Structure 1
Amino acid sequence: MSAVEVSPAAPVAAQRGVLGRLIRRPLAVFGLVVIAIAVFAAVFGPWIVPHDPYEQFFEGLSLEGAPLPPDAQFWFGTDLVGRDLFSRLIYGARTSLIIGIVANGLAVFTGSVVGICAGYFRGWVETILMRFTDLMMAFPALLLAIVLAAIFTPSLWIVAMVIAMVNWVQIARVIYTETRSLAERDFIDAERAMGAGHMRIMLRHILPHQLSTIIVWATLGIATTVLLEATLSFLGIGVQPPIPSWGNIIFENQTYFTSAPWLVFIPGAAILLLALAFNLVGDALRDILDPTQQGHH
């Protein structure tokens, strides 16, 4: 290995102390706190909600049949059928995080496998995989997700699968470009000369160099996934009622936007805050893990 080559262990060493550097950034800390609160609410929701999120309270509606504003009994008010909005938001956090983590995890895994295989093997493998990636990128992600969601019967796991199917292409293109460069390095040629197999080279030498990129995309992608799930649910083709989702809470209550604006603003603020939190953490991780940014902060 030449003196200018990057050691296979270098990416792993560069990732040490990431958490310590992360908590020195106020915006990243804010993002971590918001994410921690959302995770806590999702995990312990059944024990911390004051009411059953599916129960329709007779006293949850006014005499005219309108939703109630926030008060001591219903902290965030009630929805159009008298259900406690706070309890539904807590359960909605579970829906958003499950879809965000599962769908984005599948997208990152698929994109990483496609990108590494296409960049390493070249030839017909590269042609088939990258032309298919280009084909998928030609379709607007939201439009493709709407079509797929309309074809399948919407449910929690179907929505996660649909989002994963439209979100893997960006990371595949990035990983492919980096893998092409890595595959031409001298230490990869040396491994081949020593008889190392393709799987060993990809797992022991290519993948470690890609971990920083994968971690950043995995974090940033959750924000995109949460927003896409909310959009699909708002359009009525995402997670179906009565399962609470921040998007379908807005969809169900949009007719009361002028008379009961909290029914739209509060879940909308929750979506915005969670997406912002993941973006802040992802941006901080990108600055920390990107070798070109070392020493700039």
Structure 2
Amino acid sequence: MFRTLLRRPSLLIGLIVIALVLAGALFAPLIAPYQPDAQMFDGLSLEGAPLPPSHQFPLGTDTLGRDLFSRLLYGARTSLLIGLVANGIAVLIGLLIGTIAGYFSGLVGGTLMRFTDLMMAFPALLLAIVLAALLHPSLWIVALVIALVNWAQVARIVYTETRSLAERDFILAERAMGAGHLRILVLHILPHLVPTAIVWGTLGIATTVLLEATLSFLGIGVQPPEPSWGNIVFESQSYFQQAPWLVFFPGAAILMTALAFNLVGDALRDITDPTQRGRG
């Protein structure tokens, strides 16, 4: 498995980018030259316009004279925290519902999967906008909203795998020996679902980061002055022609982070899929 990992340059690139983003988020207080909400008079030109990248301000300043590099570092904390928390909750909900529906077929499984299909029928972004608008937007509310709209895909995948596992000979043998449902689920079903949960958990972080950025860009995500990559773009969109770096740098951070998690998730999916081993 590790030899396969080393033969994938795209995976190594993804891991390097993720490591850099995580390091920037974790050590933001040590790396950032300024506080993210510090407004400085020397951060604006004489006409009150934001300054371009310079030695004093590596990525320039925003419309309020705040250092963009510092805000991106602290914004990485917000975006990654929401991505990890929201996606972790979504994977847990999807794993729980998918496993129960796949193992207990009939009325229980049918009801749970019809509810899952109903959730998948709604556009995720539209549902997230409605939920975020009904609730008071905050960091944890945004994470909860994203989790509530992203679990259905995981549940559908887990359901299909659980249905297949429940009909295997070793599961039938466990039942014949009198093993209870809880023992079968915990000791024999869930261990086989761990690779799927890891892969979808990794892939889902990219989707979650993008969705958080979209909600913040629309003004119903993380609220200022708490920085996130999405609301940095939202605050600077009207100055795109005057100060394009205000949109380019946070946009590039969102793009590179989402791409990195997708590269890692795709590689893990290929490695854990027996039909893909030996290819590439």
For Structure 1 versus Structure 2, the TM-score category normalised by the shorter chain is: over 0.9
> Which whole-Å CA distance do the structure 2 matches of 1:20 and 1:228 have between them?
34
2:136 corresponds to 1:140: no
**Distance (whole Å) between structure 2 residues aligned to residue 42 and residue 197 of structure 1:** 45
In the TM superposition, residue 47 of structure 1 has moved relative to its aligned partner by 1.0
- How is 1:56-75 mapped onto 2 (pairs within 5 angstroms)? 56-75=39-58
Distance in 2 (alpha carbons) for counterparts of 1:289 and 1:220: 14
**Is residue 2:195 matched to residue 1:207?**
no
Q: How does 1:98-109 map to 2 (within 5 A)?
A: 98-109=81-92
Counterpart check, 1:116 vs 2:67: no
* Equivalent residue for 2:27, pick from 28, 36, 44: 44
Equivalent in the alignment of 1:234? 217
Question: Residues of 1 paired with 2:45 and 2:267: CA distance?
Answer: 47
1:256 aligns with 2:239: yes
CA distance in 2, matches of 1:197, 1:213: 24
Please name the residue that 2:263 is paired with: 280
Q: Any idea what SS the aligned residue of 2:27 has? A: helix
Identity value in percent: 72
Determine if the alignment matches structure 1 residue 22 to structure 2 residue 5. yes
| Residue in 2 that maps onto 1:182 | 165
* Structure 1 residue 266 corresponds to structure 2 residue 249: yes
Partners in 2 of 1:110 and 1:291 — Cα distance? 26
Match of 2:71 in 1: 88
Letter in 1 for 2:208: T
Alpha-carbon distance, 1:20 to partner = 4.5
Q: Normalised by the size of structure 1, how large is the TM-score?
A: 0.93
**Could you give the per-residue CA deviations for residues 29-75 of structure 1, whole angstroms, max 9, x where no partner exists?**
00000000111111111111011111000111111111000001000
Q: Which amino acid aligns with 2:121?
A: A
Distance (whole Å) between structure 1 residues aligned to residue 78 and residue 183 of structure 2: 38
Deviations 1:145-187 (A, max 9, x none): 0000001100110000000000000010011011111101111
Report SS of the residue matched to 2:160.
helix
**CA shift for structure 1 position 83:** 0.2
Could you say which residue in structure 2 is the equivalent of 1:77?
A: 60
Q: Distance in 1 between matches of 2:114 and 2:191?
A: 26
1:157 aligns with 2:113: no
Partner of 1:247: 230
Cα displacement (A) at 1:127:
1.6
**Any conservation in 2 of the 1:212–1:290 contact (CA below 8 Å)?**
no
Aligned residue runs from structure 1 range 191-206, under 5 A: 191-206=174-189
Could you tell me which of 166, 184, 200 is aligned with 1:217? 200
Structure 1: give runs of 5+ residues left out of the alignment: 1-16
- Cα distance per residue 1:116-150 (max 9 Å; x no partner): 10000111111221111011111100000000000
Per the normalisation by structure 2, the TM-score is 0.98
Whether the aligned pair in 2 keeps the contact of 1:53 and 1:84 (CA below 8 Å) is yes
Equivalent-residue separation in structure 1 for 2:270 and 2:110 (angstroms): 32
Distance 1:233 1:41 in 2: 21
Partner of 1:6: none
Give 1:53's aligned amino acid.
P
User: Cα RMSD between the aligned structures?
Assistant: 0.8
Q: Output the amino acid matched with 1:41.
A: G
User: How many residue pairs end up in the alignment?
Assistant: 280
Instruction: Please tell me the residue identity of whatever aligns with 1:112.
Output: L
